[in-house]
Structure 1
Amino acid sequence: MYNNGDFARWRRHPWHGMAAHPGDDKGVVTGFIESLPGDTIKYELDKDSGYLMIDRAQRTTAAPPCLYGFIPRTYCAENVAARCAGTEEADGDPLDICVYSERDINRTDIILQAKVLGGIQMIDGGEADDKIIAVLDGDNVWGDIEDLAEMPSIIVERLQHYFSTYKQVPGKNPNINVDVVYGRDQALEVIAAAQADYDHHYGHLHA
């Protein structure tokens, strides 16, 4: 479907065309932003073209509490699922990332550098769907924080509430669990597992 020539001639594909880490520091990752705080339309990367598409208009009033996107060259498959007790599969998408910044960032379809703080182990319909939590690297307010434990607890609480309710509609209760929260070290292990899954399934694109 893809070849290296495509990447060289055209705009880099947000998922395949850039590295997960912008440099040698494994605690800083590249984030591609799909959605903004307050969005009631769910935007998602079209995996073939690399452009953002409208996945769906949310049926409820749920809206992400922060910047939301994914880490390039990651994929949630067998290695990610193996880290999540009670699951045998992952959601088959790039690894999601939630990014906080003191300043408003009011556009999507951008890349940024984010410092990893931790994550939420989300299980959606029996599939592992981890959410990495990070802050904008060098942020004037949040930039000195090193671990999720240093963030106000309400930050994690709001994320848990959003991800546990954003698929709810009257009469239906989605099978979602977001009880497990982890810090920086485990988040880096999840990212490494998602990179290993990407290399296994899509490494041929970069041969």
Structure 2
Amino acid sequence: MIPNFKAHPWHGISAGENSPQVVNVFIEIVPSDTIKYEIDKKSGYLKVDRPQQFSNIIPALYGFIPRTYCHDEVMQLAIDNGSTDVETGDLDPLDILVLSSHNIHGGGLVMEAIPIGGFKMIDKGEADDKIVAVMVGDHAFGHVRDISELPDAEVKRLKHYFLTYKNLPDEPAKCRIDDVYGAAHAREVIEASKRDYASKFGG
């Protein structure tokens, strides 16, 4: 009899057969969450990180691309594209925000998404890219193929979250966004993070 087991969301699921054009995403947080969850790297289960601070509620589905890691390759890509005082990647899986019109009630699930761009975020010397994607087949966002197709107000809303979600009132900004990039560069970041993963954990 084959024992039951659960694949580790980071290591046991692929980045997607058609990655980086279409990627698998493990969703950790949904917009209705008032608690920030993140993957426990050892067990693969979701754990409570912290309550969301003040009004900073995640604006879309949020998670990571399996079998990615942000280290030297992701750092070098940031430097090659003009970022300064970057010392490393953030040593985590690559973060991804998935736009969808559907009301998904909780995290801990896997979906396919199409990367359309991202934010080159630098957080205290760490390259901490945030990929922006759309859920495959979504009725409102599924046709979008590049972040330039989104309304400016939507991009500003996403940027505002990432620039403020760690801050207490009246604190100086802890991170910055050096660039808003399109789908082509998002695919480069994904490939760099896959190479970082292979260097750290094997192919």
TM-score by length of 1: 0.90
* RMSD of equivalent CA atoms: 1.5
2:9 to 6, 14, 17: 14
State yes or no: 1:40 paired with 2:34. Answer: yes
Identity %: 47
Kindly state the Cα deviation for residue 49 of structure 1 after the two structures are TM-superposed.
0.2
State yes or no: 1:90 paired with 2:85. Answer: no
Q: List structure 1 runs of 4+ shifted beyond 3 angstroms.
A: none
Kindly state the Cα deviation for residue 39 of structure 1 after the two structures are TM-superposed.
2.4
| Cα deviation 1:142-178 (Å, max 9, x = unaligned) | 1111111111122211111001111111353242102
Separation in 1 of the partners of 2:53 and 2:115? 31
Separation in 2 of the partners of 1:41 and 1:193? 30
Distance of aligned partners of 1:63 and 1:126 in 2 relative to their CA distance in 1, 3 Å threshold: same
Q: Is this contact kept in 2: 1:118–1:148, CA < 8 A?
A: yes
> Unaligned regions of 5+ residues in structure 1, if any?
1-7
What amino acid is the match of 1:34?
E
Q: Is this contact kept in 1: 2:20–2:190, CA < 8 A?
A: no
Separation in 1 of the partners of 2:162 and 2:21? 24
Equivalent residue for 1:186? 185
* Corresponding residue SS for 2:48: strand
Q: Is this contact kept in 1: 2:116–2:186, CA < 8 A?
A: yes
Separation in 2 of the partners of 1:194 and 1:177? 20
State yes or no: 1:76 paired with 2:82. Answer: no
Separation in 2 of the partners of 1:123 and 1:26? 22
* Corresponding residue SS for 2:58: coil
Q: How many residues are treated as equivalent by the alignment?
A: 196
| Cα deviation 1:99-138 (Å, max 9, x = unaligned) | 0112111111000000110000011111110000000011
Separation in 2 of the partners of 1:193 and 1:125? 20
Kindly state the Cα deviation for residue 89 of structure 1 after the two structures are TM-superposed.
0.6
State yes or no: 1:57 paired with 2:47. Answer: no
Greater mean alpha carbon deviation, residues 188-197 or residues 25-34: 25-34
Kindly state the Cα deviation for residue 179 of structure 1 after the two structures are TM-superposed.
4.0
Q: Is this contact kept in 2: 1:147–1:183, CA < 8 A?
A: yes
Kindly state the Cα deviation for residue 9 of structure 1 after the two structures are TM-superposed.
5.8
Greater mean alpha carbon deviation, residues 58-67 or residues 123-132: 58-67
Q: Is this contact kept in 2: 1:120–1:131, CA < 8 A?
A: yes
Kindly state the Cα deviation for residue 59 of structure 1 after the two structures are TM-superposed.
3.2
> Unaligned regions of 5+ residues in structure 2, if any?
none
* Corresponding residue SS for 2:10: coil
1:28 to 19, 22, 26: 22
Separation in 1 of the partners of 2:102 and 2:4? 34
